[in-house]
A = this chain, B = another copy of it.
Amino acid sequence: MPTHTVKSFDEELKRLMNLISQMGGLVETQVQDCIQSLAKRDSTIAERVIQGDLKIDSLEHDVNDLTVRMLALRQPLAEDLRRVVGALKISADLERIGDYAANISKRSVALNQVPPARPATGIPRMGRMVQQILKEVLDAYVEQDAEKALLVWRRDEEVDEMYTSLFRELLTYMMEDPRNITPCTHLLFMAKNIERIGDHATNIAETLYYQVTGRPLTAERPKGDTSAFTVVEPEN
């Protein structure tokens, strides 16, 4: 096999990984900004996040095109193949995270039309935790570090637990005062979106682990989100 063919595959692989890193960087900023737009009640930031989602969608298309071309023309094997297929999956997760950030921002715009509800601090705290997890998994991707991916994968339980507790708290506020119902419903969905961002960061960790080691993370992840089973009754 002539050397330039091999080199060329490496170059395409580098380009693919750069695209993922670029997407990851944008998505990190979007997540950070959507939490800011909520914490500061700032609709200008929110609008920027909503607009910014288009760029992420367009990068996902670039990743799709490049991976399909690499599969067709380069016919990669073993770890190379896992990297190309991995990029396809990771870009889909990043695109979804971007969608959730945009949805959180849309809800921030709605929340800014009504007086602030009491419990706006829990969600930014959960948001910062998920931001940190996302940052760590993207660092792990750049370093192709399976151990780091495993650490991230284990942390999702904390997010789920925080979500379940926020869910109960928000239901209680809604029962206290009907004026809390609209804002708290949006906060509930925002919390759910943040929890889902955590799930997608976990997916990325799973994909990365498989990509680097060739072994799946098969053990069932501990599940801390029991909110679907939650029943909260009004006091009176």
Contact = CB atoms under 8 A, between A and B. Distances in A.
Interface string A172-187: 0011001101100110
A39 interface: no
B110 A228 contact: yes
Interface string A81-108: 1100100110010000000000100110
A72 B85 CA distance: 11
Given A103-B228, A185-B171, A229-B109, A178 B234 contact: yes
Contacts of A114: 231, 233
A75 B68 CA distance: 11
Contact of A233 (B67, B182, B189): B182
Interface core residue of A110, A188, A228 (most chain B CB under 10 Å): A228
A113 interface: yes
A78 interface: yes
A230 interface: yes
A190 to B, nearest CB: 10
A167 to B, nearest CB: 8
A228 B106 CA distance: 6
A110 B231 contact: yes
A64 to B, nearest CB: 9
A1 interface: no
Q: How many copies altogether?
A: 2
Contacts of A77: 72
A220 B38 CA distance: 28
Interface of A: 61, 67-68, 71-72, 75, 77-78, 81-82, 85, 88-89, 92, 103, 106-107, 109-110, 113-114, 171, 174-175, 178-179, 181-182, 185-186, 188-189, 192, 216, 228-234, 236
Nearest 6 interchain pairs by C-beta = A106-B228, A75-B75, A178-B234, A175-B178, A174-B181, A110-B229
20 contacts: A68-B85, A72-B77, A72-B81, A75-B75, A85-B88, A103-B228, A106-B228, A107-B228, A109-B229, A110-B228, A110-B229, A110-B231, A113-B231, A171-B181, A171-B182, A174-B178, A174-B181, A181-B232, A188-B188, A189-B192
